[in-house]
């Protein structure tokens, strides 16, 4: 008699999971109380439900809704990846078309110490580097200034110090500027 009652509760729990998408152990215990059975029997009910319920992160999903949910998540992830790939390809195509320089640029994203002509030091972010110049991003425009740069060499100890003339400055956001400079000479 008790096993029939537990089987009925298991059936009710499976139907609830089908309607809601998932159930918790609390939902199973509530169904047991409605049937007048002990809360402690909830693991037996889950076992009787068998393969109709799939446990993921403390929830029991109905097998049909779990598959649909997983497929929906996978489809969303694939759509997101396609959109990002498209953005990357468009960006690469656009930057290739806009490239006017004779020297190839290399992505070089590093903190760079900059000393302006007035002696003030600041730290900017380099964007790219070529044999003849550098692009820097920071909170001020440096147009026309001769600046001393300290570029990290990669060994963590030494810096490559050189002078550069900032030939162009462009506002790229609120208090954010891109500065393009040409290298002049090495500094000892």
The CATH number of whichever domain residue 172 belongs to comes to 2.40.10.220
Mean pLDDT of the chain: 86
Q: 140 and 112 in one domain?
A: yes
**Domain membership of residue 174 as a residue range:** 106-186
pLDDT one-digit tens code per residue, 109-147: 899 999 999 999 999 999 988 888 899 999 999 999 999
Q: Which has the closest alpha carbon to 126: 115, 116, 113? A: 113
Instruction: Say how far apart CA 103 and CA 159 lie, in whole Å.
Output: 23
Please tell me the pTM assigned to this model. 0.50
Same domain, 115 and 42: no
Q: How many structural domains comprise the chain?
A: 2
CB atoms within 10 A of CB 83: 10
Residue 101 has pLDDT above 60, yes or no: no
Which residue among 71, 98, 125 closes a domain?
98
**Is there a single domain that holds both residue 93 and residue 111?**
no
The confidence score (pLDDT) of residue 24 equals 92
Cα–Cα distance list, 70 to 15, 53, 62, 64, 145 (Å): 20, 14, 12, 10, 57
Residue 169 dihedral angles phi and psi, to the nearest 5°:
-140, 140
Q: Which of 98, 130, 152 is the last residue of a domain?
A: 98
pLDDT at 122: 94
Q: State the pLDDT confidence band at 82, using cuts at 50, 70 and 90.
A: confident
């Amino acid at each position: 008699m008790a096993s029939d009652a537990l089987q009925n509760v298991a059936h009710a729990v499976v139907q609830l999971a089908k309607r809601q998408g998932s159930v918790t152990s609390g939902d199973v215990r509530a169904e047991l109380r409605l049937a007048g059975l002990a809360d402690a029997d909830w693991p037996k009910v889950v076992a009787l439900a068998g393969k109709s319920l799939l446990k993921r992160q403390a929830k029991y999903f109905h097998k049909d809704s779990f598959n649909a949910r997983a497929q929906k998540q996978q489809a969303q992830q694939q759509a997101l990846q396609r959109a990002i790939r498209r953005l990357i390809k468009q960006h690469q195509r656009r930057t290739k078309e806009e490239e006017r320089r004779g020297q190839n640029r290399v992505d070089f994203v590093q903190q760079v110490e900059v000393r302006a002509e007035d002696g003030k030091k600041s730290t900017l972010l380099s964007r790219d580097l070529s044999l003849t110049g550098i692009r820097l991003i920071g909170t001020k425009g440096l147009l026309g200034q001769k600046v001393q740069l300290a570029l990290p060499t990669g060994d963590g100890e030494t810096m490559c110090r050189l002078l550069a003339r900032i030939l162009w400055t462009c506002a790229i956001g609120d208090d954010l500027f891109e500065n393009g400079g040409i290298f002049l000479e090495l500094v000892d």
